[in-house]
Amino acid sequence: MAKTDKSKGPPGVVRTLGPLVDDAEKAVSGKTRNDGAKVTLFVNDIPVVTTHSHGAGKTGGQFYLRCHELADYIGDGDTISLRDVTGACLTIGKDATAHVVSNGRESQVEALKAQLEQGYVFTKFGRLSPGWTPQRKQAARRLFEAVADELKRTFDHDLMPAYGNLLGAVREGDFIVHDAGLFDTIYLSRHEEPALVVDEAIHIVKHLVDAGFAVKGAKSCTVYITSPSDRSVALDFSWAWFDSEGEFDISVGSRFRKSRDREGYHDFANAFLGDWPIRVPGNAEEILFQLYGENWRIPDQGLRTGERLTRNELYLFSDEQLAQIVELRKLTRRRS
């Protein structure tokens, strides 16, 4: 059982301030005494980014924060501290409770504060980006529902939230603050054979373009779909399948034990992203374990699962198919 923030003892230690003191480091990291404890990074007493330590497994008690663009704002005399939910400071290094910046630059923290107040957040990739403001949430909902309607009407496929948006719907009942980029989606193919799954995916993308949607970009494992009339949001449009062995997978990839519950997937459940009611796969918790592991229930801004995403190359776009997607993107850019 995970310990609570009320356990006795010091709140924890900061192992490294990562890119805030060393360009080669990727994350601010450390360990809390209490597994699952909340940790917030402050600059000059301004809360900047928050995470929780892991609750189990080989990363239990450890936390990770990605905020490398914060290094562009801090300057001489700025003070960095990390605190738990009670406000107690984590120890930085051996015994310091705060780090005073000395990098030869002028502080830009007031400019940072202004952006945070406007709804900007440090994402899981460490970049300072527009967050899920009410306007962006509504734009995401309009785009998702429009694509979902087209997918259902034409192909009888159900569009579902995936990855961070599925995690938000199931775990938090809202958009995840630090997962503020594309809106992750999947549909489940009826096919098992890789060639049929991929051919269907590119056929669907071509149809969406014919139906008036735009291609913003693509990788071999996903296509970014947006609306020509509102490019403030885009869908990370991926495909899923159950293979001939009965294992569920997603084109963008998985990390842990794969679900085999085909029937459970179709037993859709109701969830919420704020005030937006949205359906999710009935086996959503199994899928979230498959994607994030045993700590999926704990908010982790640094997105450290202990395992890398792995993809089945047979189910991804070929170079030739990607070239077709590039042409679709050019077409939608000319059209808009």
Indicate the helix (H) or strand (E) that contains 100. strand 99-100
Give the pLDDT of residue 257: 93
In the predicted model, residues of the chain with pLDDT beneath 70 are: 1-10, 336
| CA 266 to the chain's CA centroid | 24
Q: Which are the contacts of 24, defined by CB distance < 8 A and separation ≥ 6?
A: none
Number of C-beta neighbours around residue 125 at 10 A: 14
Please list, in sequence order, all residues whose beta carbon lies within 8 angstroms of the beta carbon of residue 8, skipping any fewer than 6 positions away. none
Q: Give me the pLDDT at residue 10, please.
A: 66
Fold of 131-335: Beta Polymerase; domain 2 (3.30.460)
- List residues bridging with 273 in a β-sheet: 276
Q: Which two tokens stand for residue 69?
A: 């663009």
pLDDT of the residue at 28? 94
- Model pLDDT, residue 203: 97
Nearest CA to 54 out of 2, 122, 125, 10 is that of: 2
Element (H, E) at 198: helix 194-210
CA distance 281 to 269: 6
CB 81 within 8 A of CB 99: yes
pLDDT at residue 33, rounded to an integer:
83
pTM exceeds 0.85, yes or no: yes
